[in-house]
């Protein structure tokens, strides 16, 4: 269904003797670039190719029946999103944004569902109110901001939760919400009550405290506040939930959600937290960013030079470094029968970095980092979205004053999510294995994905930027045979999808299997272009399949046709049509040579002082602007739409 953007052309003629409104080119007034971080044009320099050069031709040996070190079974929806509560109205307001629905449908079509958290720092002070004076679903009190990061208090209405319910009625999205934790003597449980009533089983968790290890630094708790105090407050909440008949599910809580800055996870585990609250805990969770940009945004901490920092994201060690401090906790969670989530993450806290967070390098980093978390037995990860004022957005609508003529901007992390969804697939039984490829070369990592003990897909990375082709890698994949003691199981051919861009510093217009979401303001949420899945014949004598990966790029190798079709041909991705129009824009151009055919021709001959309705000085003329192109004036009406919904009802 296509109704996001409509174009109409109307030819308008001058009356005889009437002068054009302009002799050159003029255009309707548009909102110019405002300097928002989300569209910052900074492009950094990619690192030089390595010297000495890396090995560019190497082998990967796989075997059937499983391989030691493979992860726990993972769901295809592992890679999810976190939306800061204060900007959720940029996704859904009185209407649902069609591009958002299309983007989520792309993922759901591949793996069945998408996990989204609505929360963050702004959930802590959020207050549920029946309505707001201007009818909005939420409002920020900017003057009441108290955090060092200027987090505004919020009020929100039930319509926010109903909007989430309407979204889930269209696309299978499961939600995480957060219970405000700023007043533990009088918990505001309305969001949990309404969430359960409206979302039902689409509500999968309730966060208890957002980064409580930072409460002291942010001035929200006394200086003596520690893990035992948090456990005590968690206990008080458990009691409040137990006594609230409007919260039927008592086992949806998520903790401890720490940032691992003032506390370590082990400090919380050592309080007996998991054993004490096991029946109440749906998930264990932590939050972490590899670094921060808080100095540039808020004057906090130390400054960072993005150009100097850029290479630190462009290698396999980047994701491993973030995950390493949690390996003990992922093992601990398994002993307790719990799943550990990375509940909020992205390239850098305080909004990320221009030129890093919005580059192709971030797409490679996010995908490698996500796969490394899966390999290390996390059970899910939520990449954060913060609105117009940050660099690391996954996807973003245009600023309000540009929404009538611009579409959405799709960030690099969305491409990471799309590729990882296809890598894991929809079976919810995938096991991930870091292959320590190319003698553990940090610029060319690789992962194998197993299902039912057998390899089904291989994910290959090349972090190097080198347009000469000298650093294009060739990976020779074999299954069984050789020294494995197994019969050769290498297929006759493999199929490959590529994630590509000219450089790690490129912004926008990345391609996944030949399709793209364009550059800034160019996407309606559907991939554009022709799907390109390449077939590589395998060497049956050598029992290897050679796959090349450009520099830079990622190759997802499907070891069987079934492994490809389950994420590509399972069903066409659902798309959504516009049911409600918010604004229109009109631009006009005029051809004076054919003015004589216009309405009012006779009147103009009768009285040359009469002006047509589009003449300069007339009422209608004040409402029309246009541009002259080759003498023809063409009206282009551009309409951006949304899905109109009511509480619990989608209006088609």
What is the structure's pLDDT at 625?
Answer: 35
In the prediction, which pLDDT does 335 show? 98
Under the banding of pLDDT at 50, 70 and 90, the label for residue 484 is low
Query: What confidence score (pLDDT) does residue 147 get?
Result: 57
Asked if residue 612 has pLDDT above 80, the reply is: no
Residue 141 has pLDDT above 80, yes or no: no
Average pLDDT over residues 396-406: 62
Residue 404 pLDDT: 59
Q: Pick the range with the lowest mean pLDDT from 211-215, 301-305, 634-638.
A: 634-638
Q: Which pLDDT band holds residue 150 (cuts at 50, 70, 90)?
A: low
Instruction: Say whether pLDDT at 642 is over 80.
Output: no
> What is the pLDDT, as a whole number, of residue 152?
66
- Read off the DSSP letter of residue 66: -
Q: Of the segments 118-127, 192-201, 621-630, which one has the largest average pLDDT value?
A: 192-201
Q: How far apart are CA 242 and CA 42, in angstroms?
A: 51
Which of 535, 533, 527 minimizes the C-alpha distance to 510? 527
pLDDT-above-70 percentage for the chain: 78
Dist. CA 13–CA 578, nearest whole Å: 32
What b/e sequence results for 609-624 when a residue is b if at least 16 CB atoms lie within 10 Å of its CB, and e otherwise? eebbebbeeeeeeeeb
- Tell me the C-alpha distance between 159 and 92, whole Å: 10
Size (the chain), residues: 652
Q: Which residues contact 529 (CB under 8 A, 6 or more apart)?
A: 511, 514, 515, 516
Q: In this structure, what are the phi and psi dihedrals at residue 116, rounded to the nearest 5 degrees? A: -135, 135
- Per-residue pLDDT at 619: 36
Instruction: Work out the average pLDDT over 268-275.
Output: 98
- Considering only residues 646 and 173, tell me which one the structure prediction assigns the higher pLDDT: 173
Beta-carbon count within 10 A of 465 CB = 24
Q: Which helix (H) or strand (E) holds 561?
A: helix 561-568
Name the more confident of 648 and 65: 65
The per-residue pLDDT for range 526-545, each reduced to its tens digit, is: 999 999 999 999 998 899 99
Cis-peptide, bond into residue 339, ω within 30° of zero: no
Pairing relation of β-strands 381-385 and 79-84?
parallel
pLDDT at 162: 94
Per-residue pLDDT, 87: 85
Q: Whole-angstrom distance between the N-terminal and C-terminal Cα of the chain?
A: 12
Q: In sequence order, what are the residues at sequence separation of 6 or more whose Cβ sits closer than 8 angstroms to the Cβ of residue 470? A: 49, 53, 56, 551
Each residue of 80-97: pLDDT tens digit? 999 999 888 775 555 788
| Beta-bridge partners for 558 | 457, 495
User: Is the pLDDT at 214 greater than 80, yes or no?
Assistant: yes
pLDDT given at position 14: 39
Does the pLDDT value for residue 131 go beyond 50? yes
Calculate the alpha carbon distances from 137 to 88, 143, 160, 169, 597 in Å: 9, 19, 6, 19, 51
Q: How many CB atoms are located within 10 Å of the residue 312 CB?
A: 15
Q: What is the mean pLDDT of residues 512-527?
A: 92
pLDDT at 190: 97
pLDDT number for residue 587: 46
Contact 528, 516 (CB under 8 A): yes
- Say how many C-beta atoms besides its own lie within 10 A of residue 632's C-beta: 15
Range name among 460-469, 489-498, 576-585 with the lowest pLDDT average: 576-585
Task: Count CB-CB contacts under 10 A for residue 75.
Answer: 22
User: CA nearest 366: which of 411, 305, 304?
Assistant: 411
Contact 544/430 with Cβ under 8 angstroms?
no
pLDDT band at 445 (very low <50, low <70, confident <90, very high): very high
User: Considering the chain, what is the average pLDDT of its residues?
Assistant: 84
Q: How confident is the model at residue 593 (pLDDT cuts 50, 70, 90)?
A: low
Reported as a single tens digit per residue, the pLDDT across 317-353 is 999 999 999 999 999 999 999 999 999 999 999 999 9
């Amino acid at each position: 269904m296509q109704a996001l953007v409509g174009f109409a052309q109307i030819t308008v003629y001058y009356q005889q003797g009437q002068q054009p409104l302009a002799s050159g080119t003029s255009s309707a007034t548009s909102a110019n670039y405002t300097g928002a971080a989300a569209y910052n044009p900074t492009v950094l320099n990619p690192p030089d190719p390595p010297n000495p050069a890396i090995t560019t031709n190497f082998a990967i040996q796989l075997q059937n029946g499983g391989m030691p070190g493979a992860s726990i079974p993972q769901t295809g929806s592992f890679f999810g999103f976190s939306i800061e509560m204060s900007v959720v109205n940029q996704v859904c307001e009185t209407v649902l944004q069609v591009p958002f629905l299309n983007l989520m449908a792309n993922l759901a079509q591949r793996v069945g569902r998408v996990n989204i958290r609505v929360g963050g720092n702004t959930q802590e002070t959020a207050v549920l109110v029946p309505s707001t004076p201007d009818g909005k679903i939420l409002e920020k009190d900017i003057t009441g901001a108290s955090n060092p990061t200027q987090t505004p208090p919020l009020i929100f209405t039930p319509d926010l939760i109903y909007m989430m319910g309407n979204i889930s009625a269209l696309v299978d999205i499961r939600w995480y919400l957060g219970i405000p934790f700023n007043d533990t003597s009088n918990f505001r449980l309305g969001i949990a009550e309404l969430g359960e009533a409206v979302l039902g089983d689409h509500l999968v968790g309730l966060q208890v405290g957002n980064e409580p290890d930072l409460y002291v630094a942010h001035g929200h708790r006394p200086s003596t506040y520690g893990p035992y105090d948090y456990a005590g407050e968690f206990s008080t909440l458990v009691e409040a939930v137990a006594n609230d008949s409007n919260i039927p599910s008592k086992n949806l809580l998520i903790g401890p959600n720490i940032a691992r800055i003032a506390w370590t996870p082990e400090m919380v585990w050592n309080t007996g937290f998991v054993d004490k609250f096991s029946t109440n805990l749906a998930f264990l969770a932590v939050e972490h960013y590899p670094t921060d940009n808080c100095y540039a945004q808020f004057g906090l901490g130390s400054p960072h030079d993005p150009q100097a920092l850029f290479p630190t994201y462009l290698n396999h060690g980047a994701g491993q470094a973030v995950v390493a401090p949690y390996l003990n906790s992922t093992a601990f969670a398994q002993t307790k029968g719990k799943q550990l989530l990375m509940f909020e993450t992205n390239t850098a806290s305080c909004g990320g970095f221009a030129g890093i967070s919005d580059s192709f390098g971030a797409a490679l980093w996010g995908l490698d980092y996500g796969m490394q978390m899966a390999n290390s037995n996390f059970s899910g990860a939520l990449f954060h979205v913060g609105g117009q004022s940050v660099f690391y957005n996954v996807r973003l609508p245009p600023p309000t004053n540009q929404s009538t003529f611009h579409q959405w901007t799709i960030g690099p992390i969305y491409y990471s999510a799309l590729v990882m969804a296809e890598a894991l697939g929809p079976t919810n039984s995938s096991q991930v294995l870091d292959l320590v490829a190319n003698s553990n070369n940090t610029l060319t990592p690789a992962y194998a994905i197993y299902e039912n003990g057998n390899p089904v897909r291989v994910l290959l990375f090349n972090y190097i930027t080198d347009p000469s082709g000298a650093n294009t890698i060739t990976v020779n994949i074999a299954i069984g045979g050789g020294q494995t003691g197994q019969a050769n199981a290498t297929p006759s051919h493999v199929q490959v999808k590529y994630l590509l861009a000219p450089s790690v510093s490129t912004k926008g217009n990345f391609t996944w299997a030949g399709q793209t979401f364009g550059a800034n303001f160019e996407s309606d949420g559907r991939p554009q272009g022709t799907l390109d899945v390449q077939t590589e014949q395998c060497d049956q004598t050598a029992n290897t399949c050679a796959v090349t990966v450009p520099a830079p790029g990622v190759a997802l190798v499907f070891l069987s046709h079934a492994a490809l079709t389950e994420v590509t041909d399972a069903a066409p991705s659902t798309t959504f049509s516009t049911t409600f129009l918010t604004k229109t824009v009109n631009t006009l151009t005029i051809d004076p040579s054919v003015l004589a055919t216009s309405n009012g021709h006779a009147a103009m001959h009768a009285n040359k002082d009469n002006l047509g309705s589009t003449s300069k000085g007339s009422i209608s003329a004040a409402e029309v602007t246009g541009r002259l192109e080759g003498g023809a004036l063409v009206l282009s009406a551009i309409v951006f739409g949304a899905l109109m919904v009511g509480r619990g009802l989608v209006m088609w």
